[in-house]
Amino acid sequence: MGPRIGFIGTGHIATFHSKMLRRSGVEIDRGPCFDIDTTRAETFARASGAEVAGSAEEVVEGSDLVYITTWTSEHERLVDLCIAAERPFFCEKPLSTSFAGAERMTRRAIDSGLVHQCGLILRRSPAYLWARELIEDPAAGAVMAVVFRDDQFIPIQGHYNSSWRADIDKAGAGTLLEHSIHDVDMLRFLVGDIDSVSAHATYRHGIPGIDDSVASTISFANGAIGTLTTVWHDNLSRPSLRRVEIFCERRTVMLDGDDWFGPVRWSDADGTTGELAGEDLLERTTPLAAIHPNPDAAFVLAAGDGLGGHPDFSVALEAHRVVEAMYASSRSGGSPVDPAEVSP
């Protein structure tokens, strides 16, 4: 019998993690789940084998490990519940609606000594792991530039159907914070620390405080430069699509397919080219994924062994810091902002 896994929040993202747990092959026991929408909780319970609880507190009490997959403004309160009950926890991204909140949560999580993990799951993506291997290969030379584009239909509709993402009190902000914090984390993962950002945002949907298009220019500590463009549009044929191009001195790397299974393509100065995708990509990168390539399996295994979850809140905090710098730049008309100077 494995650890009892509880879920607070049973929407789209909870379903994703539940399926990932099932596919992982790691032994678990389904614990309680709770959602303020009881119909949604019952649907989740039927599909997963969980039992419906009457409150978040009941989930924490009845679980060995807890997933926090609610809207963002609830994360801090629920993390505090887990810490008080000494339950390891997995919290979805973004940690908080604000950088100050993310800083508080990170400090408390670290001080608790509990195994915890955040939902920046692309750090275990075979596609991004292999891209980093290609970039770090000395044959590639230094990274010179990166172009990162991320677009999806605004997720208050379609299969996401999360109306709370149009509520600034629950979401904190729009596409940059709620969605592209993944992309900011991947820019740091692939290229390195960020020294300066300059950003502009638009609000074409007219939803107060919810940005739907942000373009940022980025200067990295290693001398590379880059751009990040993130868009929430109304083209429902494009649910979540990324295109990433990394230009090194002697190698170009491109990701423009599935976030997990690629393909990853590259071309070198001597004219050679390569492509890796699917099961071949997974096999090549499994040794690079540390505990387990499946992020949910990794959390369960880390908690069982008393190891640190990865990525933990300290990793998420640095992504929050860069995002806050981008918003600060946008508010000032695009003036450059050093993330290191951002304070809670």
Hey, what domains does the chain have and what are their CATH numbers?
4-121+304-312 (3.40.50.720), 125-291+319-331 (3.30.360.10)
pLDDT given at position 291: 84
| pLDDT recorded at residue 161 | 85
CB neighbours of 188 closer than 8 A, spacing ≥ 6?
194, 318, 319, 322
pTM greater than 0.95 (yes/no): yes
Determine the Cα–Cα distance for residues 200 and 165; give it in Å rounded to an integer.
20
Confidence (pLDDT) at 145? 98
Who contacts 98 (Cβ-Cβ below 8 Å, separation ≥6)? 172, 324
Rounded to whole angstroms, what are the CA distances from 323 to 3, 150, 196, 245, 330?
35, 15, 11, 21, 11
Span 71-81, average pLDDT: 98
**218-107-97 Cα angle (round to 5):** 55
Chain center to CA of 163: 20
Q: Confidence band (pLDDT; 50, 70, 90) for 143?
A: very high
Quick one: pLDDT at residue 290?
A: 82
Q: What's the confidence (pLDDT) of residue 75? A: 98
Q: Is the pLDDT at 307 greater than 90, yes or no? A: no
69 token code pair: 């997959």
